[in-house]
Amino acid sequence: MNKVILNYILKNFIKKFLIIVGVFYCFGLILNLFEEVEFFKNLDVSIVTPLILTSIYIPSLIIKVLPFIIFISSLWFMWSMKSNKNLLIIKIFGYSNIRIFCILAICAFFIGWIVLFVANPITSTMSKYYEQVKSNYSRDIDHLINFKRDGLWIKEKLNEKHRFISSKKLEGSFLIDLTIFHLDEQSNLIEKIIAEKANIRENEWTLQNVYIFKSNQGIINKIYYNQYKINSIYNLSKINNLFKNFDTMSFMDLTFNFKDLLDGGYSNNFLDRSLHTLLTLPFFLLLMTGIASILAMSNLKSRNNLKMTVIGLILVIIVYYIKDFSLALGQIEKVPLILSIWAPIIALSLFTLVGVIQINEK
């Protein structure tokens, strides 16, 4: 009988989890499709292209909101158990509140690890494809930046000319081995700039060991500067945000290829943040199940469901804000980065532990 009850709990919980995932996917598909259509409206593509891109973008978004999905799934499961009196029947066969919570929590915990090892590598590959396709279709846009095997390429539209920048690599806050081309509206070369490196921390770039080649009536003039400044719409932060995309990195890459990614130009802080943020996922799923169990089992009266749902949603939103705030403190180095990622988990664990002990007495 215990095995039958266990199978019943797991089967119904996973069923409701998959239904909520499907609902979120459909909503995401509809909402993001408008954004993709807006992007492609001036390009000669069929509706199939934005639809495909939307369909491969949403799974990575689903992983981001997975704790919220688990919370809703757990709460829904508890509601159904309470409404059809199955919760009381299960208790008659010796299943306490804390035992039911442990079954759901362990299931959610394993779902988190399955997502990291199975789903996340797939969604990261899909995100890379998404970024690549969007980049290819962005070639007609005035401002474009792209990482390729031969380095970094930037296109900018200035007042009366176009700027094309190529760099061998990004090293810290410096672009190494720059070549800059300035072209007029008719794509005629105005000047060519070669620099050893450029500090791009701010929008005003400082180039070092610079050679500028200008054409004057067929004569090429070469000028050397120890330092030379240019203004750009891009800086280090903007480039990092655009192309060091968290979604394109899988848990497997971060775990087994950490050093290679570090050698490839990614900052240690960014890689640590990405890895530890993913590592917290199974624990967040477990804790979200705990919050749902506390709210649902604190009172067996069905009329309190709406009230508890509102309280739960508010609590989850607060948890997300605290999580983002803590991470922001780590990014600005007010607290150690790793601690800023795990501190919300530790605090929420203490809250959940107290709540689970209380519902076990009911």
By DSSP bridging, strand 151-157 and strand 161-171 are antiparallel
Tens place of pLDDT per residue across the chain (362 aa): 577 788 888 898 999 999 999 999 999 898 888 888 887 777 777 888 888 888 988 998 899 899 999 999 998 888 887 776 666 677 666 677 788 888 899 999 999 999 999 999 999 888 878 877 776 665 445 446 665 555 677 888 777 778 888 888 777 778 888 898 888 877 778 888 999 999 988 888 999 999 988 876 666 778 888 999 988 888 877 776 655 556 777 888 888 888 777 665 566 777 888 889 999 999 999 999 988 888 877 665 555 667 777 777 888 888 888 888 888 888 777 888 888 899 999 988 888 888 877 766 55
Is there a contact between 137 and 43 (Cβ–Cβ < 8 Å)? yes
Count Cβ atoms below 10 Å from residue 132 Cβ, excluding itself: 12
Sheet with 174-184, edge to edge strand ranges: 144-148, 151-157, 161-171, 174-184, 189-199, 204-216, 219-231
Q: Kindly state the greatest CA–CA separation across the chain.
A: 96
Identify the three-state secondary structure at position 266.
coil
The residue written with tokens 């066969």 in the block is 93
Alpha carbon distances (Å) from 274 to 51, 110, 243: 28, 20, 14
pLDDT value for 264: 59
Nearest alpha carbon to residue 298 among 285, 311, 316: 311
Is there a contact between 166 and 146 (Cβ–Cβ < 8 Å)? no
Residue-range domain boundaries for the chain = 2-138+244-360, 144-232
- CA dist 287 and 294 (Å) reads 10
Q: Which structure tokens are listed for 60?
A: 């990575």
Alpha carbon distances (Å) from 339 to 89, 318, 331: 43, 19, 11
Residues facing residue 283 across a β-bridge: none
Q: Which structure tokens are listed for 56?
A: 């491969």
- CA dist 210 and 198 (Å) reads 10
- CA dist 243 and 249 (Å) reads 11
pLDDT value for 151: 66
pLDDT value for 107: 93
- CA dist 60 and 57 (Å) reads 6
Is there a contact between 124 and 247 (Cβ–Cβ < 8 Å)? yes
pTM (2 decimals)? Answer: 0.74
- CA dist 156 and 310 (Å) reads 48
Helix (H) or strand (E) holding 71: helix 66-83
